Structure formats: C-alpha cells, structure tokens
Amino acid sequence: MNAILHAIPALYALLPEVILGVLALLALALDLSVLRACALRVRMACAAWLGVAACVAAIAWLLLHVPAQSSVAGGMLAANSLTALVQVAMLVLSACVLLLWMDARTAHHAGESVLLILFATVGMLLLVAAQDLLLIFLSLELLSLPLYILTALDARRDVDGASSSAHAAEASLKYFLFGGVSSAMLLFGFSLLYGLANSTRLASVAIAVQAAPLQPLLLAATALIVVGLGFKIAAAPFHFWAPDVYEAAPASSAALIASGSKVAAFFLFFQIFTLGLTSARGWTLMLAVIAALSIALGSLAATVQTNVRRLLAYSAVAHAGYMLLAFLAGTRANLPALLFYVVTYALAALGFFGVVAVLENAGVGDTLEAWAGLSQRSPLLAGSAAIFLFSLAGVPPLAGFFGKFYLFAAVLQRAPIASIPFWLVVLAIAMSAVALYYSLRVLKPAFVADPAVGAGAIPIPFVSRVVVLLLAAAVIVLGCAPQLFLHWILCAIQTAGLR
Amino acid sequence: MLAWTIYSAWIGAAVALMLPRRCSQWARAVALLAASCVLGIVLVALAQHPSGAMQTVALRPWIPMLGIQYSLAADGISLTLLLLTGLAAVAGVFFSWNVERRAPEFFALYLLLIGAVCGVFLSRDLFLLFVFYEIAIVPKYFLIAIWGSTRREYGAMKLVLYSFAGSAMVLLGLLAAYVASGAHSMTLDDLARYPYPAHMQMWAFPLVFVGFAVLAGLWPLHTWAPTGHVAAPTAASMLLAGVVMKLGAYGCLRVAMTLFPLGLAEWRGVFALLGVVGIVYGAVAALVQRDFKFVIGYSSISHMGFVLLGLMTLNMIGLSGAVLQMFSHGILAGLLFAVAGRMVYDRTHTRELSALQTLRLDKAIPFAAVTFAIAGAASMGLPGFSGFVAELMVLVGAWRAYPMLAIGAGVGIAVGVAYIWRAMQQAFFAGGTGTEQDHCIPAQAQPHAQPHAQEPLPAITLPERFGAWLLIAASIVVGVYPQFLLRLIDEALRGPLFAGLSMGGLR
C-alpha cells in the first residue's frame, strides 16, 4: 500500500504515457469485444480515433502542464520544458500516423495495430525523458518491438503470386535481427559504462567519465554505443535494414519508422553524448567518419534507385549524416539547430509516406514508372510530394532549407576553417545538389510524363487528404516563418537550463 | 511599391494554377496582366525615383534569432534589371500565346520564375537573395522538361544541376562570410562593411564569384547554356538568356565583388581572361552551328563574356557598360530567340539551317526576316541600338585596364558580325535554289513537318508583332538615349556599397 502511495507522484508525472497505455488497451478491448462483428473499416476508424484522442489528450496535458524543471522517480526521468517540446512533436507525428493508418487497406488487425503504434509512442515518450541507462534501454526496446511487428502487418495478396505479406515479413525479420544485434551492442556498451561509473544514472556517468576520459574501457563502451545507436538512426554503414524495411513495410508503418522514431533516436543520441559522455574522447572522430559515409553513400545511392521508397530510405541515411554534423562541434549549442532539423525532416518524411500510403491504397505502385503522370491523375498528391521532396532536398522557401542553413551556420560558428567539421559541411552542401537531382528523378515522371493509358484519377480518402495537406502546409509555414518554431525551441531550451 | 513586382507575379501564378486545365485563354490573360503589372510598377518607380540612389522598399525583421531581415531595396542597377525583367516578361507572354498544352501550369511556372527573379534583384538581405535565387531554379526545370523540344529532359536536368551546384558554392561562401563577420546580420551592407582577412577572401571570392558566374555563362562552365536554351520553349529561352543569366552576373557584381574586394583584386585578371575566352569561344562556336537556336545560344555566351569582362575592368565606364550590356543582351537575346523559336521553329518544325535554306523564309514570313535582321544588326553592335553603346563602353573600359584583352574582345565582335550574317543569310535569304526533295528534313523534325513546303506557313500573329515591337523599341530607345539608364547605373555605382571596390582598384 505504501509503495503504491509512493508511486502516485511518479504516475502523475507520467500521465501522458498512462493515458496512451490505457486508451491503447481500451482500443484493443473494444475492438475484440463490442466491435468484433462490425466491418473492418468501422473497427479501424474507431480504434484509430481512440488512439488520436489519446495523443490529443496527452498533448493537451503536456502543453498545459509544463513543469519548469523536475525529475521524477528519484532522477530516473526528467520532465522539463525541453522534454515536453520533443514529446509534443512526437505525439503530433504519431497522431498523423494513426490518421493515415485509418485508411490503410493493408492490415486486418484494427485494435492490435493501434495498440502497437501507441505502445511505440509510449516508448518514444519515455526515451525522451529517461535519464538512466537501464530505463533508456527498456524504452528503446518498447519503441523497437512494436515497430518490428508493424513492419510485418501486411495482409495484402499480390496479383502475381508472391504475396506482399511474405515480403513484409522478410523485411520485418531483417529489421528485427539487425535491431536485436544493435540492442545487444548498446546494452553491452551500457554495461561497460556501468562498470566504470558504478551507477546507471547519466549524471553519475558524466562525473565518472570526467575523472577518467581516456580509459580504453570507455573507448570500447563509446564505440559499442555509437554502433548500437547508428543502427537505430540508420547511419551508414549500419543502414542495411533501412531500404528493405522502407520498401516492404506498409506505408503507414514506414511513416512512423521514418518520422517519430527518428526524432526519438536523435534526441537519445544527444542525451547520451552530451549529458553522459561529454568529456569522453574519440567519439567525435567516429561520428565524423560515420557522418561523412552516411552523407556520401546515402546521397549517391539514392540517385540510382527506381523505387521511391528505397530512394527515400537512402535519403534518410544521408539526412542522418547531416544531423550527425550537429554533434561534431559545440554539441550543446547546436541543439536548437538539431531539433529544428529533425522535426522538419520528420514532417517531410511523414508527409511523403502519407502520399505513398494513399497511392498504396489506390493500388498504384511505388516504382518511378508507376508514378508517371501523377500530376494529371492527382494534382494534390503530386504537388504535395513535390513539396516534401523539395523540403528534403533543401530547396527554399521550405522548412528543410532553413533547417540545413541553420545547422550549417551553427556548426561553422564553432568550427575553425579547414577543420574536420568544416570539410563535412562542404561535403554536405555539395551533396545537397545531388539531393535535388534524385528528387527531380522522382518528380520527372510525376510531372513531365503522361499517365499510362486507362489510368484514371486517384481517389484520396478524406482524412488522408487532410493529413497530407496539413503536413504540406506545415512544411511551407515552417520554411517561410521558421522563427515561430525556433522561438519555441529556444525558450524551451532556456527554461530547461541547457544553455 | 516595387515589392509588388514580386507579389503581383506570384499572385498571378497562384491564380493561373487555380484555373481549370482547359482554360488556356484565361491563363494567357492572367499571365499578360501579371507581367504588365510588373512592367508598369517598374516604370512608375522609374518615374518616381529618377536618381538611382539606393531606396528601401521593405524592411522588417524576419528571423531575429539569426539577424535575418526581410529587406528589399532598389538602386539604379536593380531598377535597370527590373525594367529588363518586366519587358522580357511581357514579351515572353506574347511569344507564348500559342501554348495550348497544360497552359495554366505553364504560365504559373513562368510567373513564379519572374517573381523570383524580381526578388533577387530587389533583395538586400543575402539570405533572402539566396532564397529567391533558388526559387528561380526549380520552375526552369519543369518549363523545359514539360514544354521543351530537342533533348529537353537532358537539357533541363543539366541546367538545373549546374545552377544548383553554383548556388551550393554561393551558399558556402555566404555562410562563411556570415560566420566570419560575427555580425549577427545577413544584410549585404553590414557584411560588405566587414574587412574579411585576405587569406579568406582568396578562396571565398572565387567560390562565390564562380558560383554566380556559372549562371552568367562563364567559360568553361557555360555548357548548360546552349543545351538549355535550345531545349527550352520560346518564352523560357527568352527568360533564360534574357533574365536568368543576368541573375548570375548581378550576383557577381552585387554580392561577390562587394563582399570580397581583396580577393577580387587578386583574381580579376583570371576572370577577365576567362571573360574574353568566353567572348571569342562563343562567337567562333556560333559560327559553325547547324542548328539555328544553337547559334543564338552560343552568341549568348559571347555577349555574356562582355558583361564579365566589363565587371573585371573595375573602372566606372567598364562597370556601367557591363550593366548596360546585361540590359541590352537581355532584350536582344529575347528577340533572337523569339524569332528562332517562335516565328520560325513553331511554323517550320525544323531549326536546321540547311533545311531552312530551302524554305525561302524571307518571302514566306517577311516579318520574321525583318525582325531578325534588326535584332542581328543590334546584336552585332550597329550604332543606334543598345548593343553598340554597351559593348563600346566595355571595350573602352577594358582598353584602360587590360589592353591586350580588349584586342581579343574586338576579335570577338568581328566574328560576331560573321555568325549573325551567316545565320541570317542561311535561314532567311538563301534564295531557295534547291527544292524540298533535295534536302531531307533532319531526323528530329516531326513527320508532320513534311507537308509544310506545299501549304503556306501560317502568318505572323498579332501577339508576336506586339512582342517584337516592344523589344525592338526598347533596344532603340536605349541605343539612341543611353543616358536614360546610364544615369541610374552610374549613381548606383557611386553608392556606398560599391565604395569597397576601390580597394580592388575602382577609379
């Protein structure tokens, strides 16, 4: 009884997570009991709207109840304006994914899929707040396991014999095996850190590291953690799962993998490397190599893809490299640039997968040939896809351009000319021309070619239309008026005391 | 008020995009209205501010965290180039009156490009300038790839990649300037005031200059221009050669040269030489082309070489001549492309000079022949036209700075007479000795081009006449009374922004 009373403040601070968890279970229960006899469409809509309601409630709670600075459960979790900001961003992304999922024709499991999306969201929220190595690992697994299953949730049958569900299952297994190995490495790295610091708290680790920044044990731990997290953010050379998963997973699942989980993983990266391992040596060089590889390999490999999803996967690899630049010089001061970049990237990637999801439901393939004449079959989808791709390529006045500009300016401000970060910025700027090339390769069939004979207009479900339009509007507004969001980020960082 | 050149073009683009697909007539009307608005606003502004000194058009904070302002301003150089943009825009709409396929999209992209170009000419904040500069790149791709002709997808992609690679270099240079100054401002005046260390200027100047000059057709990075111009639909090649290449030259003058005067002093000889190589190379290459549009494409390289040479002379007469040459070439290249692309190619469906020889075009479409003769004469530098004054000023400036290079440029002018003469003779006045059967129509000409020899070519339409008269009049007015623009340009060049150029030797 005493223990329960003791846990109440912690539960109160974790109310968003609790809301999501309870409503997820409620959605599952309703779906399996009351709605069992209903049509799939109705079940899907009920479960998804319940999930969206949970996200909205959690967002409202986070916005109305921002604690200036507090730690929960004896310092295991942090709750401040910065974590609240990142959590709100991820909840918005998850809500969009749920809305897209509503119209998906891929899965036959309404309650289960919503449950998985919400659990993954809980994992992301905890990951942002966690200040303890063990809790970080647990929340990362809570995030990853639902994503593995969501990748496989494809019940379609293809016309030409091979079922796409088998394809999805293969990708899911690949994702699971890669993810499992990376988790193991991460855990091993964490255990070495624990051996060093005698504590799992990030703050204690930081103190221990400061005392002995050059230990070989620490170097091993850092390397293991970099590799483990490198898998999660799909940075080269740990990116091999990404193209397969992006290609074979249902588009709405891929949207979650490309958007929300990216934001969570990068925030985790920031926390571990700036709060825990600030004074450790050697990791900047590792990250520099990984960033250079990711930028070059991701951009160049994307130019030869014939499938838009694989193309986006390689572009995601390149973007992971861009974001790693933020860690190379003055990491803490680069946080606003990193946050702006990762959130605008997630919006654009999510929007692009929203377009792909609508096309998937309409039976349009995702090869470049299948996109021929898209602008005449559906000007809205083609126009939105152009906006998202141009934002990813960094064409002004879209959000991606300001993200890049701000990130590069922030890195250059702290990197002397002809240092490693400087050359990486040069590489990154050069590769943005390549990014425009592969974006135009997608848009060429969409806008220039005429549609195949007999290909009519593409039906767009109402909810998906609204989501895609809202995301496109967000990308434009964040590009034309970045100061609005930037102001919010800077205030949150200031209040959280990270500056 | 000048800011409304941008807004009216973009409002026009949005309206055109909203129109249903079949409403070609309405799309044309909207485009003409928007383009006329641009021209009208510039003319009113010219009347109101005849001095040419820097005037602020709009100024409000945009992204205060980075010191970026929404800052628009115009001086005499901006006004000159805005006038060029307005003229080219109106004429371009006249010459694309026959676009029927996906017309609303065509005119929407066209107006988007025009608005972005006006934005570049007006921006004083370098972030804003870069934003407009990049917005101008994307519509070019779709204009060429969708409505173009010969090898359009190749030409479009090449053009866009060259432009974007150039702008990536510019971005790097601007970031370096912004960071090194530590000024917490992206305004050109603030950055130009900062004395960058000489070793930084040594690499930053060529970086930014070449980044912009790619778009101005700097030899040897000019190869996008002929293929792009040839592939583009008429209105797009008019804008490309007429206005977009000026974006590059304008960026060189306004940004690269004012930011890094010490770098300029070191590098000016190299770029002056490259400018002269461009003049001679473009002229010689134009002399041997078989495709009518390629002749004009290479002639653009040659004429833009004069602009770059004029910029590198760093004396008053050379710089003013360079800006005047930007205006003059914009008008004349537009006119030449209009004749080759709209009047001739859209009727005969071939641009091969050998095929055109047989068609007796001087009899079939005399208006086109006369227009080409006038434009050609102006382009050769016949007194009375704008080209004469501009090239003369550049030559005088070059003679003072680099006498040897001035001789090279003179050779370029002589070859220029030859290629215009050859193109005019072969395309229009060959006399048609052979019959249609002797000369096979080249492979890329469409099959339905064959029967044109029997039936008479369609007559020159009224919009084409309007467009041609507008451009010819502009060239003659400036040729006869160049002081009209030179007064503005000189006043601008005496402004505080260009004071830094004296470190590079402006006398």
Nearest-angstrom CA–CA distance, A75 and A130:
9
Structure tokens at A203: 């703050």
Write the pLDDT tens digit of every residue in B108-124: 999 999 999 999 999 98
Asked if B132 and B120 touch (Cβ cutoff 8 Å), the reply is yes
Residue of B nearest to A383 (CA): B17
Which of B164, B185, B203 to mutate to test binding with chain A, by most A CBs within 10 Å of its CB?
B164
Asked if B113 and B246 touch (Cβ cutoff 8 Å), the reply is no
B502 pLDDT more than 70: no
Res A67: pLDDT: 65
B436 pLDDT more than 50: no
Residue of A401, A433, A448 lying closest to B168 (CB–CB): A433
**CA of A364 to nearest chain B CA: how many angstroms apart?**
23
Using CA of residue A73, residue A77, residue A80, residue A86, what is the dihedral sign?
negative
Nearest-angstrom CA–CA distance, B420 and A375:
42
Res B424: pLDDT: 84
At B96, is the pLDDT very low, low, confident or very high (cuts 50, 70, 90)?
Answer: confident
**CA of A413 to nearest chain B CA: how many angstroms apart?**
6
Res B219: pLDDT: 83
Residue percentage of chain B with pLDDT more than 90: 12
**CA of A482 to nearest chain B CA: how many angstroms apart?**
7
User: Does residue B453 form part of some domain?
Assistant: no
Cis peptide bond prior to B220, omega within 30° of 0: yes
Nearest-angstrom CA–CA distance, A68 and A81:
6
Res B225: pLDDT: 85
**Which chain A residues are within 8 Å of B145, Cβ to Cβ?**
444, 447-448
Res A162: pLDDT: 54
B439 pLDDT more than 70: no
The three-point CA angle B490-B493-B495 to 5° equals 115
Please, which residues bridge with residue A201 across strands? A132
Q: Are residues B145 and A448, on separate chains, in Cβ contact within 8 Å?
A: yes
Q: Are residues A448 and B142, on separate chains, in Cβ contact within 8 Å?
A: yes
B363 versus B385: which is more confidently predicted? B385
Res B452: pLDDT: 47
Mean pLDDT throughout A113-120? 91
Nearest-angstrom CA–CA distance, A391 and A319:
12
Asked if B462 and B46 touch (Cβ cutoff 8 Å), the reply is no
**Which chain B residues are within 8 Å of A433, Cβ to Cβ?**
161, 164-165, 168
Annotated domain spans of chain A: 282-499
A159 pLDDT more than 50: no
Asked if B337 and B237 touch (Cβ cutoff 8 Å), the reply is yes
Residue of A nearest to B181 (CA): A413
Total CB pairs under 8 A between chain A and B: 70
Res A499: pLDDT: 55
Write the pLDDT tens digit of every residue in A439-493: 988 888 888 888 877 777 888 888 888 999 999 999 999 988 888 888 888 888 8
Of A67-76, A359-368, B43-52, B184-193, least confident by mean pLDDT is A67-76
CA atoms within 13 A on the CB side of B76: 23
Provide the 3-class DSSP secondary structure of residue B194.
coil
**CA of A436 to nearest chain B CA: how many angstroms apart?**
8
Provide the 3-class DSSP secondary structure of residue A109.
coil
Quote the longest CA-to-CA distance of chain A. 72
**Which chain B residues are within 8 Å of A436, Cβ to Cβ?**
160-161, 164
Structure tokens at B85: 């943009």
Q: Are residues A483 and B160, on separate chains, in Cβ contact within 8 Å?
A: no
> 């080409």: which residue's tokens?
B372
B446 pLDDT more than 50: no
Residue of A402, A426, A444 lying closest to B153 (CB–CB): A444
**CA of B176 to nearest chain A CA: how many angstroms apart?**
8
A152 to each of A107, A108, A170, A175, A214, how far by Cα in Å? 9, 12, 8, 10, 44
- Size of chain A, expressed as the number of residues it contains: 499
Mean pLDDT throughout B334-342? 86
Asked if B264 and B313 touch (Cβ cutoff 8 Å), the reply is no
Mean pLDDT throughout B482-496? 84
Q: Are residues A490 and B178, on separate chains, in Cβ contact within 8 Å?
A: no
Residue of A395, A437, A486 lying closest to B65 (CB–CB): A486
Res A342: pLDDT: 92
User: Does residue B446 form part of some domain?
Assistant: no
Nearest-angstrom CA–CA distance, A368 and A360:
14
Res A68: pLDDT: 60
Nearest-angstrom CA–CA distance, A330 and A337:
11
Which of B10, B17, B19, B63 to mutate to test binding with chain A, by most A CBs within 10 Å of its CB?
B63
Please report, as a single letter, which amino acid is at residue B463.
P
Residue of A429, A440, A444 lying closest to B171 (CB–CB): A429
**CA of A300 to nearest chain B CA: how many angstroms apart?**
14
Res B114: pLDDT: 92
* A454 Rama sector, left if φ>0, alpha if ψ -120 to 50, beta otherwise: left
Residues of A with CB under 8 A from a CB of B: 390, 395-397, 401-402, 405-406, 408-409, 412-413, 417, 425-426, 429-430, 432-433, 436-437, 440, 444, 447-448, 482-483, 486-487, 490
Which of B125, B160, B172 to mutate to test binding with chain A, by most A CBs within 10 Å of its CB?
B172
**CA of B373 to nearest chain A CA: how many angstroms apart?**
36
Which of A436, A490, A491 to mutate to test binding with chain B, by most B CBs within 10 Å of its CB?
A436
Write the pLDDT tens digit of every residue in A386-407: 999 999 988 888 998 999 999 9
Please, which residues bridge with residue B73 across strands? B56
Nearest-angstrom CA–CA distance, A221 and A215:
10
Nearest-angstrom CA–CA distance, B221 and B215:
9
Res A274: pLDDT: 79
Asked if B30 and B89 touch (Cβ cutoff 8 Å), the reply is no
Q: Are residues B65 and A483, on separate chains, in Cβ contact within 8 Å?
A: yes
Write the pLDDT tens digit of every residue in A132-153: 889 999 999 999 999 998 888 8
pTM greater than 0.95: no
Mean pLDDT of chain B: 84
Res A410: pLDDT: 87
At B503, is the pLDDT very low, low, confident or very high (cuts 50, 70, 90)?
Answer: low
Nearest-angstrom CA–CA distance, B81 and A196:
67
Q: Which long-range contacts (C-beta less than 8 Å, at least 24 apart) are formed by A144-148?
A: A144/A179, A144/A183, A144/A232, A146/A116, A146/A117, A146/A119, A146/A120, A147/A120, A147/A175, A147/A179, A147/A253, A147/A256, A147/A257, A147/A261, A148/A172, A148/A175, A148/A176, A148/A179
B449 pLDDT more than 50: no
Res B345: pLDDT: 81
User: Does residue B454 form part of some domain?
Assistant: no
Please, which residues bridge with residue A132 across strands? A201
The bridge status of strand A69-72 relative to strand A77-80 is antiparallel
Cis peptide bond prior to A237, omega within 30° of 0: yes
Residue percentage of chain A with pLDDT more than 90: 25
CA B173 to mean position of chain CA atoms: 23
Nearest-angstrom CA–CA distance, B442 and B56:
54
Residue of B131, B157, B172 lying closest to A440 (CB–CB): B157
Q: Are residues B65 and A426, on separate chains, in Cβ contact within 8 Å?
A: no
Residue of B66, B146, B200 lying closest to A448 (CB–CB): B146
Res B69: pLDDT: 87
**CA of B1 to nearest chain A CA: how many angstroms apart?**
21
Residue of B138, B142, B168 lying closest to A432 (CB–CB): B168
User: Does residue B213 form part of some domain?
Assistant: yes
**Which chain A residues are within 8 Å of B168, Cβ to Cβ?**
429-430, 432-433
Of A126-135, A223-232, A369-378, B295-304, least confident by mean pLDDT is A369-378
A40 pLDDT more than 90: no
User: Does residue B452 form part of some domain?
Assistant: no
Residue of B nearest to A449 (CA): B146
A214 pLDDT more than 80: no
Provide the 3-class DSSP secondary structure of residue A473.
helix
Nearest-angstrom CA–CA distance, B192 and B212:
17
- Size of chain B, expressed as the number of residues it contains: 507
CA atoms within 13 A on the CB side of A461: 20
B448 pLDDT more than 60: no
Res B317: pLDDT: 87
Task: Please state, as a whole number, how many other Cβ atoms lie within 10 Å of the Cβ of residue B44.
Answer: 12
Residues of the domain holding B35:
3-436+460-504
Nearest-angstrom CA–CA distance, A300 and A311:
10
Report the domain count for chain B. Answer: 1
User: Does residue B100 form part of some domain?
Assistant: yes
**HEC letters along B446-502:** CHHHHHHHCCCCCCCCHHHHHHHHHHHHHHHHHHHCCHHHHHHHHHHHCCHHHHHHH
Mean pLDDT throughout A279-292? 82
Burial of A153 (0-12, 13-18, 19+ CB in 10 A): buried
**Which chain A residues are within 8 Å of B64, Cβ to Cβ?**
483
Q: Are residues B165 and A413, on separate chains, in Cβ contact within 8 Å?
A: no
Res B451: pLDDT: 46
B482 pLDDT more than 90: no
Q: Are residues B172 and A429, on separate chains, in Cβ contact within 8 Å?
A: yes
Write the pLDDT tens digit of every residue in B24-42: 888 888 888 999 999 999 8
Using CA of residue A79, residue A82, residue A83, residue A85, what is the dihedral sign?
positive
At B21, is the pLDDT very low, low, confident or very high (cuts 50, 70, 90)?
Answer: confident
Mean pLDDT throughout A194-223? 83
At B130, is the pLDDT very low, low, confident or very high (cuts 50, 70, 90)?
Answer: very high
Residue percentage of chain A with pLDDT more than 70: 92
